């Protein structure tokens, strides 16, 4: 090795120190390294500031390299020193405290600063950006003394800041200039769904608002807008983008545009001066995410270590929103410019939206909401740029409906070893495979400790788990799959622990059972809400914000953002006076469409959100629960009331069952039907619980499904009396409630546990009666939600915004 050269780095941040880590491995001892960093801290994971603010993560947890690391590697660190000038003639840098350091090679890694809107009053106390530990601490301190916060900017940073401030107990309003949140990453649909979810968490939004002036004496008191309105606040966090730190480079005469201009080898316009990270501009792009910066860093480290490299040619980026408890992913082209085609999948019940964007048969973009498990696979296809002709539906739908779960693993298996799996930490598939195959890592935790994969935002955990399955094979049998990426516990373990420890709130479950994401996500929050309600029916207070849009508004959201109203019509039997009332209400509220549903109910479609409570009041009928995971309808035929074939009173039985079990919360939606004879006109054998009359009694059928996965029922038993129908029905539904996984339809559950098992449990009269008793207790706690909202002014307020809600379709 040649004589030791002096390498000086300006900036002690994520990108720069990553280069140093590589150099120490590739060419140990080649450089005498000196680092200047403005912040008085060792190198830390800036990404994790969002988690620190949101709670559950300590500052000490986010240090990447501690003080000892610098000492052990012989690195001189000037922490708290800002370099103010570069003397290119005498090849030295000078810090604001007058420290000078000579270099043979200079590396500029100064990152970015938060872009602060130059508003009059922006210099007041309480106006900050969100970029470093200091900002995080200011927010934490402010929340102890003040109540109101405004975040300007509804991008990734703004929303993560807002979530953190909410967790700190502040009343938070996000002010956004665009009509859509995360407009640089999401299309309008995903953005509206995101807004709905965040509103449910208590976040407030002012969209299409342009800030004009910050008011207050010394400290901020309010923010006014160009439309003349104003909002009171004690804190303003600006999150409207970033500005590369280029001043020192510019003053030294380097070519600078938005960032410091670099070529494919991260060389600046001056010999022996390199730049890396957010401060650079490569092929016209200044990146603001770590994955591309780490890619740049890997190339630069090779260059500086004298190793072969083909150079850095640019990155296709992807983003995931963290800490918000909402799964959002975006990669490449997220909108649909001319020349592209797109395919979309929407599931309003589970709050899932998926879109892929294609150009010339190649995948060029993807937006995922609610289920982002396919993110890495789709990103890899975008990066490869190969034709996906004929596979488009599989990419969207196969993954979307879980049909290609194994396809996902196949795809991971096909990825090249150098594909990055963990963007935050720049960990490739090859590195993870090596950890599993050669270093004995057989759990996500072990891989995290060994490679750092999944150590930051946690978004890559599904892929790490997938690789674990591929490479560890049987050895991974002991590695458990959690209900979502926030926990390794499965449904049964969670329910058992909740019972054993008497856990009573979602927060408590997440804390005690050590959720990796303290806020949970859109999968675990609603499922915990269900399990807690099921286990503690008399004590648990339903957490409305953990429910999906439809269940929060007690109406079905339509694709144009309006809602549909389906009043309860027991057994599908109505009367002229009830029909007149419905018609009058429909006319009064100018309902554009009145339609019968497949379950024999009347659907009033196209209702504005703000009209919902007034309409319910005038209808004076209970909710038909045509939304959400609960008992929907009991379909009936006319039975022996009019039909000459009828052997039993199907209508009477249908009405009785609907009155017994209405308002019932379940793991998934539940549909019933009653037919008056084996001709089965009510199609009872494709329902969750189907009743078919026979001579002298009733056949009880279970586990049917007439939807996407068609399944005929299994015969459970035959009973003689109406009371028996009700008791067996209640016991069956309660067993399903107690044992199924949240979101599992009876058709899947019955197949999983087997009809023989269900028969065995329910044949036991004592057990059956106990189950029936428990379902009654559960139902008796629940009031009609429409009536509850009509009577409660606070709840009614949720319906008062005039903005349309997120437009989604089933
Ligand atoms: C709250 C938050 C959350 C984020 N979340 C994500 C995420 O989830 N995913 C993602 O990919 N990205 C995320 N980012 C962005 C990511 O943190 C940055 O892309 C990354 O930190 C940039 O690395 P860098 O080394 O270029 O700059 P930095 O990490 O900013 O480091 C630059 C360092 O240089 C110092 N410096 C500047 N000028 C001088 C000078 N003249 N003298 C000495 N020192 C100087 C700065 O003080 C700073 O410490 C997030 C950013 C924030 C703020
Ligand atoms: N999860 C993540 O990946 C993550 C999290 C935090 C930050 N980051 C990165 O940190 C950087 C900063 O994030 P960011 O969200 O500030 O940047 P951004 O550019 O992604 O978003 C800024 C948002 O502010 C809005 N905006 C601009 N001017 C405004 C104004 N005057 N009033 C109201 N809104 C205005 C824009 O429409 C934009 O949506 C980005 O590079 C981002 O990628 C990433
Ligand atoms: S199922 Fe039997 S009773 Fe009911 S309408 Fe059909 S034929 Fe009549
Ligand atoms: S992608 Fe964020 S931790 Fe891996």
Q: Which DSSP string corresponds to 38-49?
A: SSSS--B-GGGH
CATH for the 114-243 domain, from 3.50.50.60, 3.40.190.10, 2.30.110.10, 3.40.630.10: 3.50.50.60
User: How many whole angstroms separate alpha carbon 109 and alpha carbon 34?
Assistant: 13
State whether the beta carbon of 292 lies less than 6 angstroms from ligand 2. Answer: no
SS (H, E, C) 122-161: CCCECEEECCCHHHHHHHHHHHHHCCEEEEECCCHHHHHH
Q: Biggest alpha carbon distance in the chain? A: 106
Q: What percent of the chain has pLDDT over 70?
A: 95
Query: Boundaries of CATH 3.50.50.60 in the chain?
Result: 5-111+245-305, 114-243
- In this prediction, residues 625-650 reach a mean pLDDT of 93
User: How many whole angstroms separate alpha carbon 544 and alpha carbon 152?
Assistant: 27
Domain 5-111+245-305: CATH superfamily is FAD/NAD(P)-binding domain (3.50.50.60)
Half-sphere exposure (Cβ direction) of 643: Cα atoms closer than 13 Å: 21
425 CA → ligand 2 middle, Å: 21
User: How many whole angstroms separate alpha carbon 181 and alpha carbon 192?
Assistant: 8
Q: What is the DSSP string of 509-553?
A: HHHHTT-SSTT--TTHHHHHHHHHHHH-TTTPPP-GGGS-HHHHH
Q: Cβ(561)–Cβ(804) under 8 Å?
A: yes
User: How many whole angstroms separate alpha carbon 287 and alpha carbon 46?
Assistant: 15
Which pLDDT score is estimated for 547? Answer: 73
- In this prediction, residues 733-757 reach a mean pLDDT of 95
User: How many whole angstroms separate alpha carbon 565 and alpha carbon 465?
Assistant: 42
Mind listing the pLDDT tens digit for each residue in 516-543? 777 777 778 889 999 999 999 999 988 8
State whether the beta carbon of 704 lies less than 6 angstroms from ligand 3. Answer: no
State whether the beta carbon of 675 lies less than 6 angstroms from ligand 3. Answer: yes
Q: What is the mean pLDDT of the chain?
A: 90
- If one counts every other C-beta atom within 10 angstroms of the C-beta of residue 517, the result is 24
Which pLDDT score is estimated for 803? Answer: 40
Helix (H) or strand (E) holding 335: none
Residue 541 structure tokens? 């207070």
> For residue 102, what are the β-bridge partners?
92
Which pLDDT score is estimated for 2? Answer: 56
State whether the beta carbon of 295 lies less than 6 angstroms from ligand 1. Answer: no
Q: What is the DSSP string of 190-213?
A: HHHHHHHHHHHTT-EEEES--EEE
Reply yes or no on whether the pLDDT at 806 is more than 60: no
- In this prediction, residues 354-366 reach a mean pLDDT of 95
State whether the beta carbon of 694 lies less than 6 angstroms from ligand 3. Answer: no
Q: Cβ(569)–Cβ(601) under 8 Å?
A: yes
Which pLDDT score is estimated for 425? Answer: 76
Residue 433 structure tokens? 């495979």
User: How many whole angstroms separate alpha carbon 755 and alpha carbon 134?
Assistant: 60
Nearest CA to ligand 3 atom 5: 637
Ligand 2 nearest atom to the CA of residue 185, by list position: 20
Nearest CA to ligand 1 atom 41: 83
Is the pTM of the predicted complex or chain greater than 0.90? no
Q: Cβ(277)–Cβ(296) under 8 Å?
A: yes
Ligand nearest to the CA of 243: 2
User: How many whole angstroms separate alpha carbon 109 and alpha carbon 622?
Assistant: 63
Instruction: Give the distance, in angstroms, between the CA of residue 42 and the centroid of all CA atoms in the same chain.
Output: 31
Residue 4 structure tokens? 């030791």
570 CA → ligand 3 middle, Å: 18
Nearest CA to ligand 3 atom 2: 677
User: How many whole angstroms separate alpha carbon 562 and alpha carbon 604?
Assistant: 11
- Tokens 């299309």, residue? 187
Query: Boundaries of CATH 3.30.413.10 in the chain?
Result: 629-797
Half-sphere exposure (Cβ direction) of 100: Cα atoms closer than 13 Å: 6
Reply yes or no on whether the pLDDT at 801 is more than 70: no
> For residue 173, what are the β-bridge partners?
150, 204
Long-range CB contacts for residues 170-174, cutoff 8 Å, separation at least 24: 170/142, 170/143, 170/146, 170/235, 171/147, 171/204, 172/202, 172/203, 172/204, 173/148, 173/149, 173/203, 173/204, 173/205, 173/206, 173/231, 173/233, 174/150, 174/203, 174/204, 174/205, 174/206
158 CA → ligand 2 middle, Å: 6
Indicate the pLDDT class of residue 155, thresholds 50, 70 and 90.
very high
- Nearest 5 degrees, angle CA 65-CA 325-CA 424? 30
624 CA → ligand 3 middle, Å: 25
Residue 338 contacts by C-beta under 8 Å, 6 or more apart in sequence?
none
Reply yes or no on whether the pLDDT at 105 is more than 90: yes
651 CA → ligand 3 middle, Å: 11
- In this prediction, residues 361-384 reach a mean pLDDT of 87
Half-sphere exposure (Cβ direction) of 182: Cα atoms closer than 13 Å: 29
State whether the beta carbon of 42 lies less than 6 angstroms from ligand 1. Answer: no
Indicate the pLDDT class of residue 680, thresholds 50, 70 and 90.
very high
166 CA → ligand 3 middle, Å: 57
State whether the beta carbon of 460 lies less than 6 angstroms from ligand 4. Answer: yes
Listed range (211-220, 228-237, 454-463) with the worst mean pLDDT: 454-463
Q: Who has greater pLDDT, 185 or 380?
A: 185
User: How many whole angstroms separate alpha carbon 178 and alpha carbon 180?
Assistant: 5
Q: Regarding beta strands 427-428 and 420-422, do their DSSP bridges make them parallel or antiparallel, or are they unpaired?
A: antiparallel
Reply yes or no on whether the pLDDT at 808 is more than 50: no
Which pLDDT score is estimated for 454? Answer: 83
Residue 651 contacts by C-beta under 8 Å, 6 or more apart in sequence?
571, 573, 636, 637, 638, 639, 641, 674
Mutate to test the pocket of ligand 2, among 156, 242, 328, 330 (most ligand atoms within 8 A of CB): 156
Indicate the pLDDT class of residue 739, thresholds 50, 70 and 90.
very high
Kindly provide the b/e burial profile for residues 688-707, where b requires at least 16 CB atoms within 10 angstroms of the residue's own CB: bbbbbbeeebbbbbbbbbbe
User: How many whole angstroms separate alpha carbon 102 and alpha carbon 614?
Assistant: 75
> For residue 232, what are the β-bridge partners?
222
Instruction: Give the distance, in angstroms, between the CA of residue 653 and the centroid of all CA atoms in the same chain.
Output: 42
User: How many whole angstroms separate alpha carbon 805 and alpha carbon 801?
Assistant: 9
Q: DSSP assignment, residue 705?
A: B
> What was the ipTM of the complex prediction?
0.92
Whether residue 460 is annotated as binding a ligand: the answer is no
Whether residue 441 is annotated as binding a ligand: the answer is no
- If one counts every other C-beta atom within 10 angstroms of the C-beta of residue 370, the result is 24
Indicate the pLDDT class of residue 402, thresholds 50, 70 and 90.
very low
Residue 596 structure tokens? 């019968």
- Nearest 5 degrees, angle CA 310-CA 416-CA 277? 50
Indicate the pLDDT class of residue 476, thresholds 50, 70 and 90.
low
Residue 550's region, left for phi above 0, alpha for psi from -120 to 50, else beta, is alpha
Mutate to test the pocket of ligand 3, among 638, 687, 694, 698 (most ligand atoms within 8 A of CB): 638
Q: Is 176 helix (H, G, I), strand (E, B) or coil?
A: strand
State whether the beta carbon of 454 lies less than 6 angstroms from ligand 4. Answer: yes
**Taking the alpha carbons of 640, 642, 644, 645 in that order, is the dihedral positive or negative?**
negative
Fold of 629-797: Sulfite Reductase Hemoprotein; domain 1 (3.30.413)
Residue 564 structure tokens? 């549909």
Q: What is the dihedral of CA 786, 789, 790, 796, to 10 degrees?
A: -130
452 CA → ligand 4 middle, Å: 9
Mind listing the pLDDT tens digit for each residue in 542-569? 887 777 778 888 888 777 778 899 999 9
Which pLDDT score is estimated for 607? Answer: 93
Which pLDDT score is estimated for 480? Answer: 55
Q: Who has greater pLDDT, 441 or 204?
A: 204
Angle between the N-to-C axes of helices 765-780 and 650-661, in degrees from 0 to 180, rounded to the nearest 10: 70
Ligand nearest to the CA of 458: 4
Ligand 3 nearest atom to the CA of residue 677, by list position: 2
């Amino acid at each position: 090795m040649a004589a030791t050269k002096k390498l000086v780095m300006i900036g002690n941040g994520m990108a720069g120190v990553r280069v140093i880590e590589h150099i120490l491995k590739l060419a140990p001892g080649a450089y005498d390294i000196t680092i200047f960093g403005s912040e008085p801290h060792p190198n830390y994971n800036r990404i994790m500031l969002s988690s620190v603010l949101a709670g559950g993560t300590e500052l000490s947890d986010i240090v990447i390299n501690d003080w000892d690391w610098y000492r052990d590697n012989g690195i001189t660190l000037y922490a708290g020193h800002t370099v103010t000038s570069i003397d290119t003639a005498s090849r030295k840098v000078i810090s604001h405290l007058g420290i000078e350091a000579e270099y043979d090679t200079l590396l500029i890694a100064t990152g970015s600063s938060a872009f602060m809107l130059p508003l009059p009053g922006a210099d007041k106390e309480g106006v900050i950006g969100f970029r470093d530990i200091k900002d995080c601490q200011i927010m934490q301190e402010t929340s102890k003394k003040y109540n109101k916060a405004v975040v300007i900017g509804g991008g990734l940073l703004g929303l993560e800041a807002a979530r953190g401030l909410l967790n700190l107990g502040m009343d938070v309003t996000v002010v956004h200039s665009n009509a859509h949140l995360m407009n640089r990453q999401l299309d309008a649909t995903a953005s509206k769904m995101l807004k709905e979810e965040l509103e449910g968490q208590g976040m407030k939004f002012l969209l299409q608002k342009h800030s004009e002036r910050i008011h207050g004496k010394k400290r901020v008191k309010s923010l006014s807008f160009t439309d003349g309105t104003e909002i009171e606040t004690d804190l303003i966090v600006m999150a409207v983008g970033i500005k590369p730190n280029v001043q020192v480079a510019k003053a030294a005469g380097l070519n600078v545009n938005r960032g410091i201009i670099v070529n494919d080898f991260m060389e600046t316009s001056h010999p022996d001066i390199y730049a890396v990270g957010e401060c650079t501009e490569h092929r016209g792009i200044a990146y603001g995410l770590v994955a591309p910066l780490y890619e740049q860093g890997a190339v630069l480290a090779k260059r500086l270590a004298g190793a072969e490299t083909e150079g850095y040619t640019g990155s296709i980026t992807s983003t995931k929103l963290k800490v918000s408890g909402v799964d959002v992913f975006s990669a490449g082209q997220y909108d649909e410019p001319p020349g592209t085609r797109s395919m979309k999948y929407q599931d309003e019940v589970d709050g899932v939206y998926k879109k892929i964007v294609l150009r010339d048969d190649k995948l060029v973009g993807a937006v995922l909401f609610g289920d982002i498990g396919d993110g890495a696979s789709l990103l890899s296809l975008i990066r490869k740029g190969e034709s996906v002709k004929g596979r488009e539906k599989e990419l969207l739908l196969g993954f979307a409906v879980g049909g290609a779960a194994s396809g996902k693993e196949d795809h991971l298996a096909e990825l090249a070893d150098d594909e990055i799996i963990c963007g935050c930490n720049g960990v490739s598939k090859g590195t993870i495979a090596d950890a599993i195959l050669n270093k004995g890592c057989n759990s996500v935790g072990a891989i995290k400790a060994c490679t750092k994969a999944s150590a930051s935002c946690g978004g890559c955990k599904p892929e790490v788990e997938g690789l674990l399955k591929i490479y560890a094979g049987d050895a991974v049998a002991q590695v458990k799959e959690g209900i979502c990426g926030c926990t390794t516990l499965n449904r049964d373990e969670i329910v058992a622990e909740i019972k054993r420890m008497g856990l009573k709130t979602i927060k408590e479950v997440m804390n005690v059972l050590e959720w990796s994401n303290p806020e949970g996500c859109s999968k675990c929050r609603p499922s915990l809400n269900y399990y807690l309600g099921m286990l503690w029916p008399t004590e648990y207070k339903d957490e409305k914000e953990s429910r999906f849009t439809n269940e929060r508004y007690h109406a079905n959201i339509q694709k144009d953002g309006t809602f549909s109203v389906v009043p309860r019509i027991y057994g599908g039997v109505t009367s002229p006076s009830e029909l007149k009332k419905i018609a009058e209400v429909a006319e009064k509220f100018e309902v554009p469409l009145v339609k019968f549903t497949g379950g024999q109910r009347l659907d009033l479609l196209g209702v504005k959100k703000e009209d919902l409570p007034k309409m319910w009041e005038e209808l004076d009928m209970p909710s038909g629960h045509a939304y959400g995971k609960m008992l929907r309808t009991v379909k009936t035929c006319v039975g022996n009331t009019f039909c000459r074939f009828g052997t039993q009173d199907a209508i009477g039985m249908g009405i009785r069952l609907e009155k017994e079990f209405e308002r019932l919360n379940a793991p998934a939606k539940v549909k019933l039907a009653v037919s008056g004879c084996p001709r089965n006109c009510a199609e009872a054998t494709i329902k969750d619980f189907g009743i078919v009359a026979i001579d002298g009694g009733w056949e009880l059928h279970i586990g049917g499904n007439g939807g996407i996965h068609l399944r005929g029922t299994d015969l459970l038993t035959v009973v003689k009396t109406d009371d028996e129908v009700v008791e067996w029905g209640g016991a069956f539904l309660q067993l399903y409630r107690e044992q199924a996984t949240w979101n599992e339809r009876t058709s899947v559950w019955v197949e999983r546990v087997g009809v023989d098992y269900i028969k065995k449990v329910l044949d036991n009269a004592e057990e059956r009666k106990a189950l029936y008793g428990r379902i009654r207790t559960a139902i008796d706690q629940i009031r009609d939600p429409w009536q509850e909202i009509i009577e409660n002014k606070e709840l009614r307020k949720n319906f008062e915004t005039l903005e349309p809600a997120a437009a989604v379709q089933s």
